[in-house]
Amino acid sequence: SFAPSFAPLCSRIPFAPPPSFTSLSASSPPFHPSRLMVRWEAPPMGWLKLNFDGSVYHDGSGRASIGGAIRDCNGHVLVAFAEPTEHSTVGIVEARALIYGLRLAMSFFCGGLVVEGDDQVLVELLIGKGTQTRIPLSMQQEIKTLLKHFSTYQLQHIYREGNQVAHVLCKEAYRRPGVWKSGIVPHAVWEKALEDMHGVAHERICKKS
């Protein structure tokens, strides 16, 4: 079923870690698990935000997909997409999702754009903080060319827990691929977008020693 869509704010709220567990041996340091509560965050007024994701199965099925959503400062989904794609590395599939989303965005908008994905290695590569080869140089150049279409942009990483709309769209690609506009999206996507709009935080467990 389909439903109109909605989306609010991407802050990560650190929680105080619980007391240290007892060390199992004299040489074992205390283990300090901690939690982050991760929220999707709406873009500034007048900006739009693209969340993208890529999915790759390593079960021999050859399945891979891309998904993403473009939302306004009120969290409303303006455009969403979900498509199967050729099986490849995670980095390349994530980059395909980003390129697809940027092309959609530039078809109707050229203002400020926040671009957000949960592939930290890819994001750091694109903003110049990482050197690990993640995607071919041609894809890097294409992404940078597309970004120049917008008056200004901000490219940033978000944990998977804050990228659930794009993640669910990757799953939808195997059921009903397509592009949705005018606030009409699959029900599973609408539910996650509504959670974002209401500021629902999702727990992420961080293990630190």
Question: Residue 30: pLDDT above 90?
Answer: no
Predicted confidence at residue 7, as pLDDT, reads 40
Domains, the chain, in order of start with CATH, read: 48-206 (3.30.420.10)
Residues 6+ apart with CB under 8 A from 203: 35, 36, 37, 38, 161
Q: Which two tokens stand for residue 112?
A: 């400020």
What pLDDT band is residue 132 in, cutting at 50, 70 and 90? confident
58-116 pLDDT, tens per residue?
A: 888 889 999 999 999 999 999 999 999 999 999 999 999 999 999 999 999 999 999 99
Six token digits for residue 193: 């977008």
Per-residue pLDDT at 117: 97
Distance CA(99)–CA(139), nearest Å, equals 8
- In this prediction, residue 26 carries a pLDDT of 52
Backbone CA torsion sign across 97, 103, 104, 106: positive
SS3 state at 49: strand
Instruction: Specify the pLDDT at position 31.
Output: 57
> What does the pLDDT look like over 167-186, one tens digit per residue?
999 999 999 999 999 888 99
> Cα 54 to chain center, whole Å?
9
pTM: 0.82
